[in-house]
Structure 1
Amino acid sequence: MQITPKKSLGQHFLTDSNIIRKIADAVIAPENGKVVEIGPGTGAVTGVLLQRFPGLEVVEIDPRAADFLQQTYPGLTIHRQDILKTDWNSFEGGPISVVGNLPYYITSPILFSVLDRRELFTQAVFMMQREVALRLTAQPRTKDYGILSVQTQLWSRPEYLFTVSRNVFHPRPNVESAVVRLTFDTPDPGVDRSRLKLVVRTAFSQRRKTLNNALKPILKEHIPDDAAREAFAAEHQLGRRAEELQPNEFIDLTRAIYGEP
């Protein structure tokens, strides 16, 4: 069965057996865990994963690919649905290790859906646009450091594993790819998640401004007195820009703004 990649689904099928093996090697799942593959397509990685993790389950929105996988691997559990509408709680059998070649156009939504439910996962091994992979692991004071960097590093431990040439895909994409691994073994930030995300997003929304200016709407709401706000800004060095803060400093700042213990 020949499947033509669909541009509307961002499909680029992997053809290099060495890269396929390296991706499978990167998945280190606990014995009591569940391995889930996102968007397996024609099953280039699926076959190798099944040899190592017989309980593998996959999520595939393309009915042609799902039919092909069902014929090729009759015992494979296939969830025929949109990954962005998938309920991660529906997977039984222990903590989840998720793996996938992410479509470029929905990479960030998929990442945030996993980060938002980090307690359900042990790790994620994702292939994505190299530019996005560099942002995940970027350090403060660099051009790639931003919202995605901070949120990923607050809720996981990201590793840039290796670069993947555009020449090992069909069709050939316009950009290079990379494989990253997120390990969910970091301590919980210990502050309200929605508040922390709001502070991070607001701080970077105008990244050339100082934190004092970028965060002004939030600061005015929670510290209405001008003198108190000035003292707060001095104490927490809000003359800096968001790109200068380490991820953990956003935890301390959120705790201070909202008066969380």
Structure 2
Amino acid sequence: MPKARAEKRSRQERRGGGGGTGILFNTGAGQHILKNPLIVNSIIEKAALRRTDVILEVGPGTGNLTVKMLEKVKKVIACEIDPRLVGELQKRVQGTCLANKLEIKVGDVLKTDLPFFDACVANLPYQISSPFVFKLLLHRPFFRCAILMFQREFALRLVAKPGTKLYCRLSINTQLLARVDHLMKVGKNNFRPPPKVESSVVRIEPKNPPPPINFQEWDGLVRIAFVRKNKTLSAAFKSSAVEQLLDHNYRIHCSLHNTEIPENFKIAEKIQTVLKNTGYSEKRARSMDIDDFIRLLHGFNSEGIHFS
């Protein structure tokens, strides 16, 4: 290769170049293409794809995972925001027997309604990880499972248990709605260009039927508890903003149920009474599990205190 071309290609790779595709990948938008065929095959194997499956893929990139899935399933619906990568993906299957099994949706997957699908398999742009997980888990009809690539620490938060360092609101909200399993670690050198962080693949299987809980209410409670997860709940609920919100919600509840509110009523006292009566006043969110929060939510709701 002539020296000038070699230097140009080297510069392109340092900037996140697309190698053989000639595309400059936008690493700021999470464009890190999975290049290791062994990892691609392992992800597909763990997805247990079926011939009749419709697969949702987000961020297909240049199609390394897409093409392998097209060989095994009925249809792949690929969601891609970058028109350049859409063009690369179309060229890759053009004129082959796989072309009519591929549907490409161009745009931001967070701003569009998800189609029907049996399973979701994706090397996600990491900056949309959290909103996409909850978009998936609140999607209906139910899908069988999702096999997703995440930044390592995000993946470990998804599976974290009460009492561990990474346990957080993301952990408990995800585990309320789904079973989550960590499948494998993926080193940064398996991507082109390599990201700055290590990655992991997880399996998410939604609970069907879902727990009989109003998720907005649940998330409102959990959000308050985990703002300072090492504080006691008694202290966490003494925030003036929290008291104002719950006082407002309580007065709406009483109005709807024709319940008279005493003149000397103070929401702070009622909140602390609920926490004490349920036995959670001195508990900390970091060590509470799903059953604990279900009991606490029921305790508040039964006294007319709501979180949505």
Aligned length: 257
**Pairwise CA distance, 1:192:** 1.4
1:241 maps to 284
Q: Does the CA contact (< 8 Å) of 1:134 and 1:144 recur in 2?
A: yes
1:84 — aligned with what? 110
| Residue identity matched to 2:46 | A
Q: Which residue of 1 aligns with 2:8?
A: none
Deviations 1:184-226 (A, max 9, x none): 1354221211110111111101222111221343696349466
User: Does structure 1 residue 255 correspond to structure 2 residue 298?
Assistant: yes
- Is the 1:199–1:215 contact (alpha carbons within 8 Å) kept by the matching residues of 2? no
How far is 1:136 from its partner?
Answer: 0.2
The corresponding residue for 1:162 is 184
Could you tell me the TM-score, scaled by structure 2's length?
0.77
Written as runs of structure 1 = structure 2, the 5 A alignment for 1:160-199 is: 160-199=182-221
Instruction: Give the structure 2 partner of residue 42 of structure 1.
Output: 62
- Aligned equivalent of 1:4: 24
TM superposition shift of 1:229: 4.1
Look up the match of 1:104: 126
The residue that corresponds to 2:145 in the other structure is 123
Moved more, 209-218 or 11-20: 209-218
Report how far residue 32 of structure 1 moved.
5.8
Root mean square deviation of aligned Cα: 2.3
Match of 2:75 among 55, 65, 70: 55
TM-score by length of 1: 0.90
Equivalent pair of 1:38/1:83 in contact (CA under 8 Å): yes
CA deviation map 1:59-88 (0-9, x unaligned): 011111111111222321100111111201
Given that 1:141 and 1:244 are in contact with CA atoms closer than 8 Å, whether structure 2 keeps it comes out as yes
Distance 1:106 1:173 in 2: 15
SS at match of 1:49: helix
Contact 1:161–1:181, Cα closer than 8 Å, also in 2:
yes
- Local SS of the residue matching 2:149: strand
2:88 matched to which residue of 1?
Answer: 68
* Alpha-carbon distance in structure 1 between the residues aligned to 2:150 and 2:211: 26
The question of whether the paired residues in 2 share the 8 Å contact of 1:161 and 1:179 is answered with: yes
How far the C-alpha of 1:118 sits from its partner, in A, is 5.9
How far did 1:256 drift? Answer: 1.9
- CA deviation after TM superposition for structure 1 residue 7, in Å: 2.1
1:14 counterpart residue number: 34
Aligned to 2:16: none
Amino acid at match of 2:289: Q
**Letter matched to residue 77 of structure 1:** E
Structure 1 unpaired stretches of 5+: none
The residue type paired with residue 244 of structure 1 is S
| Contact preservation (8 Å) 2:53, 2:74 | no
Contact 1:118 1:155 in 2 (8 A): no
